[in-house]
Amino acid sequence: MDTLTGLLEGPKARGAFLLKSVFNPPWSLRVEDRAPLSIVTMVHGEAWLLPDDGTPVRIGPGDVAVVRGPDPYTVADSPDTPVQITVGPEQRCSTQDGEDVTETMSLGVRTWGDPLQDAGSAVMLSGTYQAPSEIGRRLLSALPTLLVRPAETADHTLITLLTAEIGKDEPGQEIVLDRLLDLLLIGVLRAWLAAPGSGAPMWYRAQSDPVVGPALRLLHENPAHGWTVEELALKVGVSRASLARRFTDVVGEPPVAYLTGWRLTLAADLLREPDATVATVARRVGYSSAFALSTAFKRVRGISPQDFRTGAARPTAPDPRTPPRRTVVLPAL
């Protein structure tokens, strides 16, 4: 398994919140739902995305924006338009006077906004991942605040399909929408990782290194193996000291620390499987016992594997590896 596959295996929406919103100018929506990740694309018209601590970006039809939470942001027809509606936890919407308009502005199945639609209306599709476990700490800690993929490089077929499916109310529709959201996100991530100078994480760029790349592939292909730096160096064909130094310089952490993080990332995914137990997950990712996995998991993530499985509240302390909040607009091809 290469590092790209390992990263992209993370996003798995489960009952994600998807909505088609229709607005007539002037309009401004303040999003304070504390969701870990949201995706926004315009079907018609334009919008401004305004992170609280980042560079505002205008998006038009076909552009796809990924917003990393949990900090608030604003979506509006203009940066100067005052906020009219605030989206809070559980996607409840209220005016600046405190009036709850969640239901009164509903326009049908997964459709919301202004009922007086005309040629000047803005039509926006949004998808929100409800919990960090649906994306993975590894991905969240690498993403910029705001990542925009221009329409020239976006998958128009996928956006058209999402537009058609979002208003349907059919058996299995939730799963269909979850997978479409995942695919849309993965498309943006692939473009981000491939773009020169985009700020892709060090551990992704390291896969092209002649020494570190092969070592990373070994760790990803068999994370349950009891790897040591000596064995990795032997497999790669360099000295132990050379591998340790090169790995740390290129990836930003030593091989064993990287392996620990990768094992816990895999464990988090496996723990969400219905029949998984902490003991079976521990064996699959290279820990000798459920106790050993629990100790490592709680030390790094601040929560026990069992609480993670049941969806207990996640800690609010930031990941020290989280990058500075910034905006990245990918170049058009």
Confidence band, pLDDT 50/70/90 cuts, at residue 240: very high
Residue 205 has pLDDT above 80, yes or no: no
What is the structure's pLDDT at 208?
80
Q: Round to whole Å and give the CA distance between 197 and 43.
A: 29
136 within 8 A of 270, measured Cβ to Cβ: no
The Cα–Cα gap between 135 and 2 comes to 18
Instruction: Give the SS3 label for residue 317.
Output: coil
Contact present, 44 and 169 (Cβ < 8 Å)? no
pLDDT grade, residue 332 (50/70/90)? low
Query: What's the pLDDT band for 132 if we cut at 50, 70, 90?
Result: low
Tokens of 80: 């100067």
What is the pTM assigned to this prediction? 0.76
**Between these two residues, 193 and 219, which has the higher pLDDT value?**
219
Looking at residue 206, its pLDDT comes to 79
> Residue 256 — pLDDT band, cuts 50, 70, 90?
very high
Half-sphere exposure for 162 (CA within 13 Å, toward CB): 28
Alpha carbon distance 52, 38 (integer Å):
15
Contact between 21 and 189 (Cβ < 8 Å): no
Q: What average pLDDT does the segment 158-166 reach?
A: 92
Lowest average pLDDT, out of 24-33, 65-74, 219-228, 260-269, goes to 260-269
Q: Which two tokens stand for residue 233?
A: 């160096």
Section 243-248 average pLDDT: 95
pLDDT > 60? residue 10? no
Span of 80-89, 155-164, 198-207 with lowest mean pLDDT: 198-207
Does 282 score more than 70 pLDDT? yes
At 16, the pLDDT band (50, 70, 90 cuts) reads: confident
Residue type, 10: G
| Cβ pair 61, 160 in contact under 8 A | no
Mean pLDDT for 74-92 is: 94
Rg (CA), the chain: 21
- Six-digit token pair at 74? 């604003």
pLDDT confidence band for 221 (50 / 70 / 90): confident
% of the chain beyond a pLDDT of 90:
54
177 three-state secondary structure: helix
With 80 as the cut, is the pLDDT of residue 198 above it? no
Taking the mean position of all CA atoms in its chain, how far away is CA 134? Answer: 8
Closest to 73 measured CA to CA, from 165, 163, 144: 144
Q: How does pLDDT run across 26-66, given as a tens digit for each residue?
A: 999 999 999 989 999 999 999 999 998 878 999 999 999 99
pLDDT of 308 over the 50 cut? yes
> What is the average pLDDT across 86-95?
93
H or E element that contains 23 = strand 17-23
